[in-house]
Amino acid sequence: MSKYASWSCVVSNPYYSQCVPGSSGSSGTSTSTSTASTPSLTGIAATAPTTPPSKLTGMLPALGWNHWNAYGCSINETKVLAAANDFISLGLKDAGYEYINIDDCWPLMQRDPTTMQIVPDPSKFPNGISGVATQIHALGLKMGIYSDAGTATCAGFPGSLGMESLDAATFSSWGIDYLKYDNCNVPANWTDSSTPQDGDWYNSNSAIRYRQMGGALAEQSNPFQFDLCIWGAANVWDWGARVGHSWRMSGDSAPTWQYITEIIGINVQYLSSINFFSHNDMDMMEIGNGALTIEEQRTHFAAWVFLKSPILLGTDLSLLNSTQISIITNPELLAFSQDSTVGTPAAPFNATASLPTTSIPEYYSGESSKGVHVFIINTSSSSATKSFAFANVPGLTGSGPFILHDMWTGTDLTGTYSLDSTFSVTVASHDTVAYRITSS
């Protein structure tokens, strides 16, 4: 039985047909994909797609750019291609960045009345999305697009709920490599009950909306990296890896220290969800935006790195200064993010016996193929001395001697340390230091 056999399809306007759970009806625009009928489940949850995300992409946190924080709805082909060319001229491609992602506001307000496809706004994209993708691919980069798991996007453009098969095929035909899938304008009958079926949020209405698009993407000839922009709803950290490669953990970002600390605080509660093909998305980067100090921008980047979040730059790249470029292209921090041997993030640890209580954890440790790493955030409003005992660092083996390496500067610190050593450093307000520890 088709997973849409119990759906009712309605036409809300001449340009958009919507299929929703109902007592009868069928859809001519729906996708046929992998389903698994589960006896204990009822309704759409019993036959919703169970197709896992592609393993041909998304193993490591995505590195790229997204237009929204810089341009909002004022996006066009010129700005997108400028970002792609900046990737080349600023050394971002060489550093590992590859995705050029278009966010909301790229199409016309109405679908094509004949094909029902979403139509790129010709005033913004005179060569269509496919024309832009061709130019981006010619630079050796990949391209992302945006849609929504509701009736309309957050800015009111056509959403993909009930149109997943058509939209996935359309995006694929344009050469799209990445889909950011938002969570606005969800019909009332698609909202979640307080307790999902079988107590599993994978069976919630929210998860099923994303599973439908995941199943449609899986039917395309090219692999899609799938970002579930679900704002941390429906316990997504429990099921996100069964549907996509990353999932947003909060609402909109902001270029403020408060936002940076808030999302770190949210994310550290769910670090067990992070591994290869499975990433908590801490939202688009704000480096270059607002009034963030250089120290706050260093912490912004370092935290996204050591918590293995996708890093999607969100500014006019041509306006970044050399210090900001050196932050986002730091090879040693990016190597931790992109390590193909260790997929788990750094995690808070008790650095000393008398560790003070702070608004968010300040001390983190994690392993990579290159050694054991320690990251320290100074959350206070003034410079402070931060210390950690080598014996307290998880993953360190043997008694030493150990070499301490500064990941920001790429240089070893003078001297060696033993397991009995304690290291102290003065850290500027809102800054983050990053070290790698190896045996001498």
By C-alpha distance, which of 321, 39, 12 is closest to 162? Answer: 12
| Distances in whole angstroms, Cα of residue 114 to Cα of each of 110, 120, 399 | 11, 15, 72
| CB of 325 closer than 8 Å to CB of 294 | no
By C-alpha distance, which of 287, 383, 291, 372 is closest to 327? Answer: 287
The DSSP bridge pattern shows strands 279-281 and 411-412 to be unpaired
Q: What DSSP letter does each residue of 200-246 carry, written as one string?
A: -GGGSHHHHHHHHHHHHHHTSSS--EEEE--TT-TTHHHHGGGT-SE
Tell me how many degrees the CA angle 49-182-144 measures, rounded to the nearest 5.
90
By C-alpha distance, which of 429, 433, 336 is closest to 388? Answer: 433
| CB of 35 closer than 8 Å to CB of 48 | yes
Can 252 be counted among the known catalytic residues?
Answer: yes
Single-letter residue type at 359: S
Residue 54: CA count within 13 A, CB half-sphere: 19
From the list 86, 182, 281, 431, the catalytic residue is 182
* Biggest CA-to-CA distance, the chain: 74
C-alpha to C-alpha distance for 130 and 210, rounded to whole angstroms: 24
C-alpha to C-alpha distance for 210 and 189, rounded to whole angstroms: 15
Place of tokens 């307790």: 195
Q: Which residues pair with 226 in a beta bridge?
A: 179
| CB of 111 closer than 8 Å to CB of 117 | yes
Can 182 be counted among the known catalytic residues?
Answer: yes
From the list 94, 112, 198, 252, the catalytic residue is 252
Report, as residue numbers or ranges, the catalytic residues: 182, 252
